[in-house]
Amino acid sequence: MHNPVYEETYQGHTIKIYHDPDAESPREWCNLGTLICWHRRYRLGDSHPFDSPEAFLRDLAGVSEQSDLSMDQLLERAERKAVILPVFLYDHSGLAMNTIGFHCPWDSGQVGYVYVTLEAVRTEFGAKRVTKALRAKAEGILRGEIVSYDAYLGGRVYGYVIEWDGEEVDACWGFVGDYELDCLLESRRAVPAPLPSQTRESAAAQARAHP
């Protein structure tokens, strides 16, 4: 195992945070959205049969190949049937992904879309119609899915190991995102509460150290 990215002593135990060497892609989770990407070198997102963004938008919008609609017009038609967001990739000393674009035009660009059909939104939330508020909620979920996938692409998936006197007593893996937000907090909650005898020993040790 590699060196921990963070280590601390907590309630007499040692907490070590590591990069997860066998991290599962968030696209394997039960997601609301589908992530459709095209890239010459990387396999990104979910598998799909579309050879181009145009073919995807035509299928989603229900527009035949014989029509001469522009990409903007196809996207407008698709938005009548789905909540859809553009997805951008930054490729420079690692990969990053978002739905708003990056400032560097040379190493970034749109790589696909993340979407969910309006029918799926109605089913998910038990709604008869997709209101503006419900559409905004679905968009927020889609953005959150890209945030998780971005963390996975960037290697920000962690696990913790709890040790007592050099022996592993607990461990958990698969925390996506900055380790301070979830992994470290969860590891502290998992540390067993000190026994009364340990508390007395700790107090006695502190008294000896600071007479």
Average pLDDT for residues 22-34, to the nearest whole number? 97
For residue 71, the surrounding DSSP H or E stretch is helix 71-79
Query: 76 and 96: one domain?
Result: yes
Binned at pLDDT 50, 70 and 90, residue 2 comes out as confident
66 and 143 co-located in one domain: yes
Are 113 and 199 within one domain?
Answer: no
Domain enclosing residue 200, as ranges:
6-23+157-209
Query: 67 with 108, same domain?
Result: yes
Task: Centre a 10 Å sphere on the Cβ of residue 45 and count the other Cβ atoms it contains.
Answer: 23
**Contact (Cβ atoms closer than 8 angstroms) between residue 171 and residue 177:** no
Alpha carbon distance 151, 135 (integer Å) = 25
What is the model's pTM?
0.87
List of residues 6+ apart from 125 with CB closer than 8 A: 134, 137
**Is 196 within a domain?**
yes
Pair (137, 183) in one structural domain = no
66, 109: one domain: yes
Total number of domains constituting the chain: 2
142 with 162, same domain: the answer is no
pLDDT at 203 over 50: no
Alpha-carbon span 63 to 55, nearest angstrom: 9
Q: Residue 15 forms beta bridges with which residues?
A: 8, 162
**pLDDT 10s digits, 123-181:** 999 999 999 999 999 999 999 999 999 999 999 999 999 999 999 999 999 999 999 99
Residue 149 covered by a domain: yes
Residues 94 and 14 in one domain: no
145 and 164 assigned to the same domain: no
Q: Judge if 19 and 89 occupy the same domain.
A: no
Whether residue 84 is contained in a domain is answered as: yes
For residue 180, being part of any structural domain is answered with yes
Q: Do 60 and 163 fall within a single domain? A: no
Which of 109, 124, 153 terminates a domain? The answer is 153
Q: Would residue 1 count as lying in a domain?
A: no
**According to the model, what pLDDT value does residue 1 have?**
65
Same domain (yes/no): 128, 30 = yes
